[in-house]
Structures are given as C-alpha cells and as structure tokens.
A and B are shown apart, each in its own frame.
Chain A
Amino acid sequence: MQVELKDIGKKYEGRENFTLRHIDLLIEEQSFCVILGPSGCGKSTLLRMIAGLNSITEGELIFNGKLMNKVPPKDRDIAMVFQSYALYPHMSVYDNMAFSLSLRKEPKEVIRERVLEAAEILQITEYLYNKPSDISGGQRQRVALGRAMVRKPRVFLMDEPLSNLDAKLREHMRVELVRLHKNLETTTIYVTHDQTEAMTMADMIVLMNDGKIMQQGTPEEFYHHPENLFVAGFIGSPTMNIYPGAIKDGAFHSSGGALVVEPSEKDAQALAPYEGKEVHMGIRSERILSGVEEKNTFQAEVDVIEMLGKEKLLNCKLQDGSDIVISVPGYFEYAVDEVHNFHFDLDALHFFDSETTERIGS
C-alpha cells in the first residue's frame, strides 16, 4: 500500500509548539522506509499518527488515495510492532497471535492455520503454548512480529523493535527482518534512532530532527550526498570530520589554519560564489589517504588508536590542535605520538554553507 503524508502537523494538547509540522512524505508500495532521528525528534509521534494512535492536528494522511485521518486504528489495515513488544502477559503465545483474528470473528480453523503459518516462518512453533514471561527476549520479539503478521496487514509499522535485544541478536534480526519484508512484500515503516539499522535495512531513509525532515533518500545518497550539516554529522560511524573555515582564492582554509585544501574542479565551480564566505568542509575518515602529494597534504600526530580489526581508527591532532579521525586498513602499522603525512581524496569532499548549513554543489 502506498502511504502519503501531506503537510502533516501535530500539536499535543497543552503544548505551545508543534511537535512536528509540514511533513510531506510519499512511501511507495512494498518499500522498506526507515524513519531515523535522535530521540525527541518526533519520529515516534509520526508513526503513531500513521497508526491512528495519535490524532492528526493538521494535514492529510492518505493510504492508496483514501483519506485516513479519522479512521480508527483497527480499520486502517495496519499492524504494529512495539519497542517493548507489548505482548499480552496473561495469554499464551498462540492466543497473543490469534487475538486480532478472534476479535474479527474469523473461523477457528482459519486462525489456527494463519498462526501456525506465521509461527513456522518465525520458528516459534515450540513455544506456542508458553506464556510470554517464559520465553527469552529474542523469542518475544518474534512473537510480536508474528502477532503483526497473522493479520496480513497492508502496512507494517515498527517502533524501534530491536532496541531491547543484545547486539548479536540485533544483527541477526536485522537480516531476518529484511528477508521477511522481501517475502511478505508489505509496505514497512520502521522507526529507529540507530543509523546502522537504517543504513542496512532501508530502501528509503527519512532523517528527522526537531520535528522536520532533514533529508529523504536511499542509504547511498545519505552517505555520499548528505544534504546538510546535520545529516553529514548524523550518518556514518565514525562521524564525518567537519571543519569550519572560509574560501580564499578558490581554496578552503580551515579556521584553525592547519588545513588548506584546493578542491577538485567540479567543487571549485560550485564554490565560486562563496569566495570570501564561510563554509564547512567535511570528509569521511576512510577518504583520507596516507602519504605525501603535491597539494593538500597535512601532518597529523596520532593521539589514540582504536583497533576494530579490519580497520584502525586513528584519532589524530592537527597542528592547530583540532581533531581528525582517519581510518586505515587494520594491518597498517601506526603508533601513538607518531607524526604522519596524509592527504585528501578530492572526490570525497563535502562543502556546506555555514549560514544555511545546506550542501554546496551536488
């Protein structure tokens, strides 16, 4: 099902300001859309509005061309998975999964068939007659998914469903969720604050901050073409190196003075109108190369080394004291307190207007 949000806004009763406003979003049929953002950015509110659990103050919510603003949650043909799983503690796993169907007065055989089918896919058949309190967190997570699946909804809504699992299980469930989405071909809207989940699972990411959409697009676009400083700083681990500075004579001079970068021709064109103005320059840690080049070379002193296995993160200090994180392959040998030469991969520089924080160039 296609989900469309037109100029949606939400103001909670008794609050002065809108929690979110002017949200325009089109979620295509069968896509896996991740709404990403720091806590308090309004992403859960948005999801609850789509679910019908919170009222919509202004704007239109449209499912496949039909206005849904006033339709109660049970008639929206949606299913939701909650952060806390929200399993009914007094019912067995089977009853939990069968609950929505039995409320709809489906025949017993149909319920049984659907529950067993979902249990089979999620591999929870052996726990069907246990109470939720008797099974582990990962299994509860599956039951919560199963409860959503048996209804065969047209939209899945998930509110940070993996945040209560341990790291290993989360990694595993990420893949399972994507696989499940592929098989079921249901539109999925997934809310999270974890950028790894967003990057690995999404067809489309919507990054929100402070009640506004900062950028929407594919994970690649987010990583390689952040549209503003917030996106650049939010997406990617380690965080992108970002330096304030100004353009002088066509080159970027960082405000500390340690970096002077002559951008590539393409960037130089885009930066031409910014001559003499303040801009931010960003570069990802893996796009900094070791060694000396004719231009754009800088020296950095290694401060702390984080060994991640396949790569090493060098937390370095520039000559003016500012920090830079550089990632190098894990087998490269570096030692703390050494001073090394590095240069930039000019194709990977990002420039942002310091005033508007918007991206300069494409």
Chain B
Amino acid sequence: MKKKKEGLYLSDRPPLSPLGKVLLVLSYVVLAIWSIVILWPLSQMVISSVNGTQTKNITMGRRFAFSLKHFEYLFNETNFLLWVRNTLFIAVATALLTLVIVSFTGFAYSRYRFKGRRMSLLAIMLIQTIPTFAGITAFYTMHSIISGFAPFFTRQLLLIFIYAGGGIASNTFILKGYIDSVSTELDDAARIDGCSNMQVYRLIIMPIARPMLSIIALWSFIGPFMDYMLAAILLTNNESLTLAPGLFTLINDTRTMNQPAFAAGGLLTAIPIIILFIALQNQLVSGLAQGSVKG
C-alpha cells in the first residue's frame, strides 16, 4: 500500500515546520498583493481603451460597452502615427548605432592591450554616474552650433546621439565582460585559419556574443519608447514628438485632453516591444559559448 506523504515539502528539502508554513502563506500573500498592484492599472488601461462609454476623463465603475472609437480618435485626430514613426526611427537608429560602436569598444577593451586602457575604462565608469540630464544645456548649445552649418542635423538626430552615447558606456562594460569569458584560443585559431582582426570579430566573436548583443539591442531599442524627459524638452514641435511626450499631450492639456485615447496609445506602444521580445527570445537564451572549449 502506498504510504501517504506527511508534511509539506518544498522541492527536495526537509518538510516545512509550522513556522515555515506560515511564512510560505505570507510570501504568497505578498506576491499576490504585488501582482494586483501591477496588474490592476494595466487592466484598467486595457479596459478603458476599448470602453465606448468613457468620455474625455476616465472614470471608474462606468458601464462597459465595447468600442474602438478611442483608437479611431487616436489615429484620426492626433499625430499618433507620426509619433510612432518618429519613435521607431529614433529607436532603430539608436539600437544600430549602439550595437556598432559597442561591438568595436567591447571587443577592443576585451582583446587588446593599449596605453590608457585601464584609465579610460575607469573614466567611462565614473562618467556613468553623472545623469545624462545634467548635460542638457550643453546639448542645446551643441545642437545650435552644429545645425548652424548642417541644417539636416535635427533635434531628433541629436536625441539619437544622446541615447546611443549614454548606452555605449555601460554596454561596453557588459559586452567586454561577456567577450572576456570567450577563450582567446578561439581568436588565435581564427587568426591561424586566416582571419583578419575584423573577421575574428565578425565571424567568430560576434556569433558567440549574440545573446548579449541581442540584449543590448533590445535595451537600446526600448530606451526611446520609455524616455519622456529628454524627448519632451528637446522636441518642441508636436509633429516631431516621440510616443511618450506625444501621448502625454493627451492628458496634460485640457484642449487636447482624451484619457481613453491615451490608454489606447499606451496599449499600442507595448506592441512593437512585445513583438521584438518574441522575435529575439531564442537569441536571448545564452549558453551558446558552451562546448567551444574543453568537455
């Protein structure tokens, strides 16, 4: 006869004591509250965005009637599509610029010994501690000087440089750390096989570091979606706004106020990011470097 298991077991540990059981219940309660705090506003946003009875201001407990009219408003009455285009442009450009530069810097810091290597790494780390926002006046000045003789240098381009520049420092560290874990014997083998320095990176190191590069690309891509402050200050023209400050105009100005449309816009903003996550999820799984050396 099968003996019934007594006591409560967590994974493969000894059975829980009474105090342990209380703590277990407590931790579940905490987790549940936490989830509600996160999920409740999100669900309200989703529900409000498709609730036809909501007017300019979202009010709780209103009768629900499914409608896409807030989305229609968003597309027809606001510059939403322009904002999406602006954001995508800035995000893609930022991600690409960051990837290219971080590839060079990460590889160089990991593989080459040169004068000032340690000092410049340290400098990069220290500069990190200064918030980007502190440089806002400098950014203004730089922009007015450069756009003086190069009119195509828009505020959006400036924004791309600021985002990419901010990301390069920390991402260089991350990528350097990752490449450090790849055996240098691989480089040697590739060199003997006939690779130039660029080929060593492009054909050997880059494919191995792909999980990390994907993460870096994803972060740099998401950044412009999330940032409100810099975009709101630097971009003044409604048509050149990115999503965050663009949508903000729907809730901070009584003339353009439309909270359900704001919710709808927020929902749509999440979509490209979710798509990117799904597309990259295989790349994000690391462990590719296993099996290159030893057994």
Contact residues of A with B, CB < 8 Å? 13, 48, 51-53, 72-74, 78-80, 82-90, 99-100, 103-104, 131-134, 136-137, 140, 147, 151, 164
Contact = CB atoms under 8 A, between A and B. Distances in A.
B288 to A, nearest CB: 6
Interface string B139-168: 000000000000000000000000000000
A38 to B, nearest CB: 21
9 contacts: A48-B188, A51-B192, A73-B192, A74-B195, A82-B189, A90-B208, A99-B190, A133-B290, A147-B193
Nearest to A54: B188
Contact of B291 (A52, A53, A131): A131
Contact of A80 (B113, B188, B288): B188
Interface residues of B, number: 25
A164 B295 contact: yes
A132 B188 contact: no
B55 to A, nearest CB: 56
Nearest to B289: A89
B186 A86 contact: yes
A84 B294 contact: yes
Interface in B182-232: 183, 185-186, 188-195, 199, 204, 207-208, 210
Given A84-B185, A90-B207, A79 B291 contact: no
Nearest to B189: A86
Contacts of B193: 74, 99-100, 103, 147, 151
A132 B185 CA distance: 15
A35 B123 CA distance: 44
A83 B192 contact: no
Contacts of A78: 192
A86 B292 contact: yes
A80 B192 contact: yes
Contacts of B189: 80, 82, 86, 88, 147
A80 B186 CA distance: 11
A53 B191 CA distance: 8
B192 A132 contact: no
Interface in B46-71: none
Nearest to A89: B292
A133 B185 contact: no
Given A74-B192, A78-B192, A89 B295 contact: no
Given A13-B113, A53-B191, A86-B188, A136 B183 contact: no
B86 to A, nearest CB: 36
Interface string B277-295: 0000000000011111111
A84 B188 contact: no
A184 B158 CA distance: 61
A88 B204 contact: yes
Contacts of A84: 183, 185, 292-294
Contacts of A74: 191-195
Contacts of A140: 295
Contacts of A136: 295
Interface in B243-295: 288-295
* Of listed A48, A74, A78, residue having the most chain B CB within 10 A: A74
A132 B291 contact: yes
A85 B293 contact: yes
A147 B290 CA distance: 19
